[in-house]
Structure 1
Amino acid sequence: MLDRTPTLPPSISPVVSPNRPMWSVMIPCYNCIKFLEYAMRSVLIQTWYRHDIQIEVVDDASTDGDVESLVATVGKGRISYFRNEQNIGSLRTFEVCINRSRGTLIHILHGDDGVKFGFYEEIESLFESYPDIGAAITQHSFIDTDGNETANKNIIRNEPGIIQNWLYKIAAKPLVQPPAVVVKRSVYEQLGGFFAVHYGEDWEMWTRIASQYALAYSPKCLALYRGGNEESISGRFVRDGSNFNDINRVLEIIQAYIPDNKKKEIRKLAKRNFSISYANSAFQILKKNRNNNTAFILAKGALALDINLRTVYYIIRAIFQYFIMAAFDTMKAIKN
């Protein structure tokens, strides 16, 4: 049995068939059946008339329902289904997705995410306008488990086009989420698949691609990344603090992609950015759902990464929030 966490980028076999579709939309899923229909329909509604697209759900041996039946019901023959014989983990499932893909462009759409109408046309226009790029992205927003959308304030550029100094930008901060990214299959064939970590593996991949290829971006918000799903891999890693081990590992790996004269600067900036992000998350978690343990793990990890004014600001707010909630609970108990 293959190791669930490859230590090197897995090799991707080239497609030998001359009759290839333009697109492969590969939808990996594991125990996210309540979101999977949304993901599939978000693709079908804008591709139903096309014959140059492969759509396939790759199921990592889910146990939360009959995924195959759902795919058959929703896809009506337009979406194929493949199930791993046993659960092999996210990294190996991504590897299966890429190796099973036949298109020249690969979109790995996680089973709990989605895309808005026009995503595929917009991405196609970027590849047509900039044929030498290795990948293309659109702006993304966030949706919660109830489908409520929150705008992403990080606008990379105001007009479609090549992102200048993209390597330095993406190495310092993960500015893009998986549903917004489409990669040429030939790029995966050259650079290999996802490896090393289960949290931040996408950030490593986008940085690796940026070290070898230009990337084009559209400011149109056409991708939807689902946050707040505590049963997702990211959610589980944040709850137990494993995310910090993986982020530190990625920080080490991407040093190899950065020129020597920029390594120290980018690493310091990345640690600062993650520190601020996690400190803010600690405050938001206390504010919204009172998960004290997760908030404490995030705050502690944020300070371990970097101590700066913004991190301290958010942690002070988190501490005040904690005592406000404690006082409120005490008053409520006395009243009852």
Structure 2
Amino acid sequence: MLERTPKSPPQIAPLPADTNQPEWSVMIPAYNCIHYLRKTIESVLAQALDAKQMQIEVIDDFSTDSDVEALVNELGKGRIGFFKQPRNVGSLRNFETCINRAKGKFVHILHGDDLVKPGFYQEIGGLFESHPEAGAAFTGCSDIDENDKWLWDSEQILKEPGIIDNWVLKIAEGQLLQTPCIVVRREVYEKLGSFFAVHYGEDWEMWTRIAANYPVAYSPRKLAYYRVHSNNITGNSLTTGQNIKDISAVINIIQNYLPADKRKALKTRARMNYAIYIGILSDRIYHTQNNPKAALMQVTYAFKLHPSKRTLYRFVKILTKILIRYKNKPQQE
């Protein structure tokens, strides 16, 4: 039985030479996200190319919340492939299955609760056409909550589409993109392997690994939505504190991809940036999720990750709120 969390990047086998390879593979890993999966699939079908040009497949990690295959058949009417794991294998192994089953030149892993906006594949295709040397390409992205409410936008990296200079040094300082907005050449996965080591931050490690080996193209157009909710890996990790443990591991791993003379400074900035990010998120955990215990856990770990006046302030702020049992007044609609 395979480990749920691989200790090294699992190998991705090349396709047989006689494979009829489409341009695109849109692979949708799903696990207990039936309430979001319909919108995810519909966002792809709204801009899908024909089956010869674009493979679309849902990879179900043994969901228990509903009949995923029935939904795929209802929406796809034979257009969408379906594969169900014989048992729950975890997110990393499910991503690995997605990549191994992908037949296209360009592989898009679109989580079953995320969305793409109209024009996403056209924009990404244009980036690869303009920059054939790119190993991956991505667009801007917006985060939304469980009710499709906008939360925030990703940082704009370039004003115009193009290759990002010194991208590995930029992304080594912190996660600057989300999985639904990036597409990777299959041959890149074949060379570098799949996701490994952690279940939170595994994407940051992967994008940094790619950046260390290939040019990466980017468009500032915000054409994907990343969903934040309490039941996905991100939400679960935030309430348990596993996110900071995993991020600490990722920061250590990515040092291997960086120039030796840059590692110390980049590691310090990465720890600082993530500690600040978690400090800000702790307020949302306290108020929006009404979880003071998890908020305190986050700011405690953030201070340990990068002790500073700023992280100490966040810790004291949350602790004080808990001690006085502070609550926001309900907002007027």
The root-mean-square deviation of aligned C-alpha atoms, in Å, is 1.6
Q: Give the aligned partner of residue 129 of structure 1.
A: 130
* 3-state SS of 2:143 partner: strand
The Cα offsets for residues 172-202 of structure 1, whole Å up to 9 and x where unpaired, read as 1100000011000000000000011111100
Q: Where in structure 2 are the equivalents of 1:178-327 lying within 5 Å?
A: 178-227=179-228, 229-319=229-319, 321-322=321-322, 325-326=325-326
Say whether the 8 Å CA contact 1:179–1:225 is kept in structure 2.
Answer: yes
Q: Where in structure 2 are the equivalents of 1:1-336 lying within 5 Å?
A: 1-16=1-16, 17-47=18-48, 49=50, 51-152=52-153, 154-227=155-228, 229-319=229-319, 321-322=321-322, 325-326=325-326
Counterpart AA for 2:299: A
Distance in 2 between the 1:289 and 1:255 partners? 34
Say whether the 8 Å CA contact 2:30–2:58 is kept in structure 1.
Answer: yes
CA deviation after TM superposition for structure 1 residue 325, in Å: 4.5
Higher helix share: 1
* 3-state SS of 2:213 partner: coil
Distance in 1 between the 2:244 and 2:142 partners? 24
Counterpart AA for 1:52: Q
Distance in 2 between the 1:37 and 1:259 partners? 44
Distance in 2 between the 1:271 and 1:87 partners? 33
User: Which structure 1 residue ranges, 5 or more long, are not aligned?
Assistant: 330-336
| 197-206 or 235-244: bigger deviation | 235-244
CA deviation after TM superposition for structure 1 residue 240, in Å: 1.2
Say whether the 8 Å CA contact 2:116–2:224 is kept in structure 1.
Answer: yes
CA deviation after TM superposition for structure 1 residue 318, in Å: 3.3
Distance in 2 between the 1:328 and 1:153 partners? 27
Structure 1 runs (4+) deviating above 3 angstroms are 48-51, 312-329
Q: 1:223 to 1:236 in 2, by over 3 A?
A: same
CA deviation after TM superposition for structure 1 residue 328, in Å: 7.8
CA deviation after TM superposition for structure 1 residue 324, in Å: 6.0
* 3-state SS of 1:68 partner: helix
User: Which structure 2 residue ranges, 5 or more long, are not aligned?
Assistant: none
TM-score norm. by structure 2 comes to: 0.94
CA deviation after TM superposition for structure 1 residue 119, in Å: 0.2
Distance in 2 between the 1:166 and 1:327 partners? 42
Distance in 1 between the 2:328 and 2:201 partners? 37
CA deviation after TM superposition for structure 1 residue 323, in Å: 5.4
Say whether the 8 Å CA contact 1:287–1:321 is kept in structure 2.
Answer: no
| 10-19 or 319-328: bigger deviation | 319-328
Q: 1:66 to 1:264 in 2, by over 3 A?
A: same
Distance in 1 between the 2:43 and 2:119 partners? 10
Say whether the 8 Å CA contact 1:283–1:317 is kept in structure 2.
Answer: no
Q: 1:173 to 1:73 in 2, by over 3 A?
A: same
Identity %: 48
